[in-house]
């Protein structure tokens, strides 16, 4: 039986705000399996971003356990094994499109195959003609495609996308997800995407619901892989 990429049991996250404890995530139990396509839906402030940051190893839980059985220790997750895509593109203004996309490879010491992988990632999202452009010359949709190209360039085993179409019009947003899903077709790379868009959520094989820091729907997702 294949091991899960991520396994969490009773996962919780609390933080202090104005001297009071705020519960951002409560008792989440989940597994993410290779090849899964998961939509994480819920209102703004429901805890979706908190969960994604924990799963990426960017934050530490207050309660429960969180492991990455297939991926290894938390120190080894970023930038190769897990890729993050945020609602804002988070590009470096001083670097060209190609240089921004190359960053995960360079950080992982993979300069040898950098040129070919960057070309492939740019081509996947129709960005080859923009390779030498700086981010400030791009539209919002183009910048988000660059961010998505940066996410796939290192061939991660898990992509965590936090409202990646939230600042795009519907046509541009759906086109971005179309290109991503075409790229991932048949791949063992798992995708967890937080979204408010019901069309995008419907396209994922599994839907998880987040409400007031509580996660539901995981009990029906992919446990027999």
Query: What's the pLDDT at 220?
Result: 59
Domain count, the chain: 1
Q: Residue 16 in contact with residue 62, Cβ under 8 Å?
A: no
Decide if 111 is inside a domain. no
d(CA 213, CA 26): 6
Query: What's the pLDDT at 49?
Result: 96
Res. 224: pLDDT tops 50: no
SS3 category, 29? strand
Decide if 25 is inside a domain. yes
d(CA 112, CA 197): 39
- Both tokens of 159, joined, read 């992509």
Q: What is the pTM of this model?
A: 0.94
Decide if 100 is inside a domain. no
d(CA 181, CA 209): 21
Decide if 114 is inside a domain. no
Question: Quick one: which of 56, 29, 140 has its CA closest to 90?
Answer: 140
Decide if 165 is inside a domain. yes
Query: What's the pLDDT at 76?
Result: 94
The CATH number that applies at residue 193 is: 3.40.50.300
Decide if 95 is inside a domain. no
Q: In this predicted model, what pLDDT tens digit does every residue of 124-150 receive, in sequence order?
A: 999 999 999 999 999 999 999 999 999
- Both tokens of 95, joined, read 């670097």
């Amino acid at each position: 039986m294949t091991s899960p990429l991520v396994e969490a049991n009773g996962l919780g996250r609390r933080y202090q705000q104005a001297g009071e404890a705020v519960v951002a995530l409560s008792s989440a139990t989940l597994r993410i399996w290779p090849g899964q396509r998961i939509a994480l839906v819920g209102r703004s402030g429901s805890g979706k971003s908190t969960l994604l940051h924990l799963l990426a190893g960017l934050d530490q839980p207050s309660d429960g356990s969180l492991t990455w059985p297939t991926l290894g220790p938390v120190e080894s997750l970023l930038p190769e094994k897990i890729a993050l895509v945020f609602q804002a593109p988070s590009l470096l203004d001083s670097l060209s499109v190609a240089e921004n996309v190359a960053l995960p490879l360079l950080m992982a010491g993979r300069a040898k195959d950098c040129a070919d992988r960057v070309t492939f990632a740019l081509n996947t999202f129709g960005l080859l003609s923009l390779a030498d452009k700086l981010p400030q010359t791009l539209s919002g949709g183009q910048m988000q495609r660059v961010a998505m190209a940066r996410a796939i360039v290192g061939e991660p085993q898990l992509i965590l996308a936090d409202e990646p179409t939230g600042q795009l019009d519907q046509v541009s947003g759906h086109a971005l997800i179309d290109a991503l899903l075409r790229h991932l077709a048949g791949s063992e790379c798992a995708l967890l995407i937080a979204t408010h868009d019901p069309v995008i959520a419907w396209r994922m094989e599994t839907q998880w619901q987040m409400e007031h820091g509580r996660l539901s729907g995981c009990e029906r997702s992919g446990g027999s892989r």
